[in-house]
A and B are shown apart, each in its own frame.
Chain A
């Protein structure tokens, strides 16, 4: 299957600083990338959807000025957590899909390929 990488895999930063997380599709062009956040023992919650060359679409309750998303190319999306606070400590996972959305009635499933995740700890 397709490969998505994330960098860094873990990061510790001080409160008030900004952290950038990269998500790369290594062997395909990702027209759409998703950013999820997962708190300990909880499910994945979608934060935002990013399409190459356009502004990200944020889910309700996610501060777009705090979580800056840039999808500058078809293989790279970045999430910047600005002025991080301890409550931002979480596991951040990206996923990517490529190609046109296909109808569920036929054709392949346009599977989402997940990155390995980035564990952010804000002290």
Chain B
């Protein structure tokens, strides 16, 4: 079974609008962490935001916020006021504490295109 599911292969948004990228996860662990990374065409992985399973508040980092719904096992990324430079691949990832080594499991990614 997929641990991380990103159902949107591609998303389009106009500059200055907000966009939500979906992510659902599957785990039986009580303790886990959820991450979002941005991968521009250069290939580097850029950390955006982190949510721990015990965090009661949704994580926010500047224009990025994570809509964490634990009961639904979803961790959607919201990008407000989109910019042209936001065009990239976005990956949701999960770390389960029972793996010991902090392995990250990635979703298949969503390609975001921001138009002027």
Indicate if the CB atoms of B91 and A105 lie closer than 8 Å: no
Indicate if the CB atoms of B102 and A117 lie closer than 8 Å: no
**A24 smallest CB distance to B (angstroms):** 15
A interface bracket (residues with beta carbon within 8 Å of B): 20 to 34
**B108 smallest CB distance to A (angstroms):** 5
Among B93-107, those with CB < 8 Å from A are: 97, 100-107
When A44-B91, A117-B44 are in contact, do A103 and B103 touch as well, CB less than 8 Å? no
Cβ 8 A contact of B47, one of A1, A44, A57: A1
- B-side binding surface: helix, strand, loop or mixed? loop
B interface bracket (residues with beta carbon within 8 Å of A): 20 to 34
Q: How far is the CA of A1 from the CA of B43 in the complex (A)?
A: 18
Cβ 8 A contact of A44, one of B42, B101, B106: B106
- Check: A27 CB closer than 8 A to any chain B CB: no
Indicate if the CB atoms of B101 and A32 lie closer than 8 Å: yes
When A34-B103, A104-B54 are in contact, do A93 and B45 touch as well, CB less than 8 Å? yes
Question: Please, could you name 27 A-B residue pairs with CB atoms under 8 Å apart, sorted by A?
Answer: A32-B101, A32-B102, A38-B43, A43-B91, A43-B107, A44-B106, A46-B103, A49-B101, A51-B101, A95-B104, A103-B31, A103-B97, A104-B33, A104-B52, A104-B97, A105-B31, A105-B54, A106-B54, A109-B50, A110-B102, A112-B47, A114-B44, A114-B47, A116-B43, A116-B44, A117-B44, A119-B43
Sorted from nearest, which 7 A-B pairs have the closest CB atoms? A114-B45, A117-B43, A104-B31, A104-B52, A105-B54, A43-B106, A49-B101
- Taking beta carbons and an 8 Å cutoff, which residues of A are in contact with B? 1, 32, 34, 38, 42-46, 49, 51, 57, 91, 93, 95, 97, 101, 103-106, 109-114, 116-117, 119
